[in-house]
Every structure is written in structure tokens, then in C-alpha cells.
């Protein structure tokens, strides 16, 4: 199995940050080499990455319709998901930690944006279920702008089982719930390990997972709802404000 990264800047970032994951780079046959494509050509040589000129139309089945490949794609090995037990072991006694749990997030654009927010905010990991969850695919890699290589992605068979183990290891579970009365600003995020839980925009967080939450919070809005990746960014940066500046 292989994934693809597309776009000039994304491919350059991949060469500089994850050259070991790149199998081969393809540049559109007959295209004129601008500065960024020329840089990709030079970097490929420097990192001993195979570069071919090819008709990129044959790869279209791997991408969403209408995607602009910008004349270059990189074939990459799939990311390695972090083992949950290893994550717990490594994080013990290493200060307070913060993670994100995604329940039934299947849109790759939301997933990619959340990964980018988690990496920018210095979060320690993202937990997703094996089923009913978007995998890290080409779109996720593109939207995350390389952040998939900066924050561990942890796949688990059971979200409820993983959450229970977190609780047993002194983690607090904070779930976004549009139906609660409690504001996300009223939680003290300092001095504890915590996991922020977000659900899909359609179905929200499952009942089983919601019942396990220690806190249920909402973002007050004057509109029906915010995009889940926007909600994530708002809460993540409130946690950082409290931890770093209060």
C-alpha cells in the first residue's frame, strides 16, 4: 500500500522532513520547471530519491476530483501509527500531557486540519478508532501540511476501552457537547493530563464515549454550529492560554 503527497510545497516539505518515507517522485512530463520544481529535482538528487517524469493523469484515481497536483506528486509509505500501550508507557512521569480523541471523524479535510492544530499546539497525540474513522490518506497529508509527521497518531480497536485506560492512568476526559450548559472557558486545563474529545458534525460523540466524559463543554455560538476543526482550534488554544499564560 502507498499514499501520495501532492503539490510543490508539500513535496518539498516531505523531502526535507520525511525522506525515508518517500518511494519515488513524479513530475508531470513536458512541464516547465519553475523554481520550486527545480528545487524538488535538486533535493531528490541530494537525498537519493528516484525522480521520474510521467503523465500524472494516470494517478488521478488516487485523488479527489478537481485536485490541483501542481505538476508533482510523491509516492510515500503510509505513516506508522503509534501503539497506544507504548504511548501510555512513554508518557508516564513526564509532566502533564494533552491529547485529542476523534470519534467518527471521517472527513479528511477536518482530520488534516485537526492534526495541524494539534502539532502547532504541541499536543502529545491524537487517538482515532480503527473503524468509522478517516485514515491518514493523501488529502489528510496535504491539509495537515506535514503535521502528520510531527504528532503521533494512535489507532485503537475500542475508543471506550482506550478512554477507560486513560482514566485509570490519571487522565481527565473533556468532551465537546452542544447540549450541555457548561462553557469550555470554565474548565481549568492546568495541572492535569487531559484528552479533548470531538465527534463528527453529523452524529457527534457516541453515547458510550460521552458517558465516560469527566467534563462536557460547549462553544457558545450565534449560529447553528462551527466546523469541528474550528471547534478544535478554539479549545486547543484556550488550553494553551491557560497553561502558558495564567
pTM recorded for the entire structure? 0.89
Nine cell digits for residue 26: 513524479
The percent of residues above 90 in pLDDT, for the chain, comes to 73
Encode pLDDT of 130-139 as tens digits.
988 999 988 8
User: In the chain, what are the domains?
Assistant: 3-76 (3.30.1330.30), 84-245 (3.40.1280.10)
Encode pLDDT of 177-236 as tens digits.
988 999 999 999 999 999 999 998 778 899 999 999 999 999 987 666 678 999 999 999
Separation in Å, CA 146 to CA 52, 123, 136, 175 = 23, 15, 11, 27
Encode pLDDT of 81-90 as tens digits.
999 999 998 8
- As a 3-state breakdown, the chain gives helix, strand, coil percent values, each rounded to 5, of 40, 20, 35
Encode pLDDT of 137-150 as tens digits.
888 988 898 899 89
pLDDT at 1 over 60: no
Amino acid at each position: 500500500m502507498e499514499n501520495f503527497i501532492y503539490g510543490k510545497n508539500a513535496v518539498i516539505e516531505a523531502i526535507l522532513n520525511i525522506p525515508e518515507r518517500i518511494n519515488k517522485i513524479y513530475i508531470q512530463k513536458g512541464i516547465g520547471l519553475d523554481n520550486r520544481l527545480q528545487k524538488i529535482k535538486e533535493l531528490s538528487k541530494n537525498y537519493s530519491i528516484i525522480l521520474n517524469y510521467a503523465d500524472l493523469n494516470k494517478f488521478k484515481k488516487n485523488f479527489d476530483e478537481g485536485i490541483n497536483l501542481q505538476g508533482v506528486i510523491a509516492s510515500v509509505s503510509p505513516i506508522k501509527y503509534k501503539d497506544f500501550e507504548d504511548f501510555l508507557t512513554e508518557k508516564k512521569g513526564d509532566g502533564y500531557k494533552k491529547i485529542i480523541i476523534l470519534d467518527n471523524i471521517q472527513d479528511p479535510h477536518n482530520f488534516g486540519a485537526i492534526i495541524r492544530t494539534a502539532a502547532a499546539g504541541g499536543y502529545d497525540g491524537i487517538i482515532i478508532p480503527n473503524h468509522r474513522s478517516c485514515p491518514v490518506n493523501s488529502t489528510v497529508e496535504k491539509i495537515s501540511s506535514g503535521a502528520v509527521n510531527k504528532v503521533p497518531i494512535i489507532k485503537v480497536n475500542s475508543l471506550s476501552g482506550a478512554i477507560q485506560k486513560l482514566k485509570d492512568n490519571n487522565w481527565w476526559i473533556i468532551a465537546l457537547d452542544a447540549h450541555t450548559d457548561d462553557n469550555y472557558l470554565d474548565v481549568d486545563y492546568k495541572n492535569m493530563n487531559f484528552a479533548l474529545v470531538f465527534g463528527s458534525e453529523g452524529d457527534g460523540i457516541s453515547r458510550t464515549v460521552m458517558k465516560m466524559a469527566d467534563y462536557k463543554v460547549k462553544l457558545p455560538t450565534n449560529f447553528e454550529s462551527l466546523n469541528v476543526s474550528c471547534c478544535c482550534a478554539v479549545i486547543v488554544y484556550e488550553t494553551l492560554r491557560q497553561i502558558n499564560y495564567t
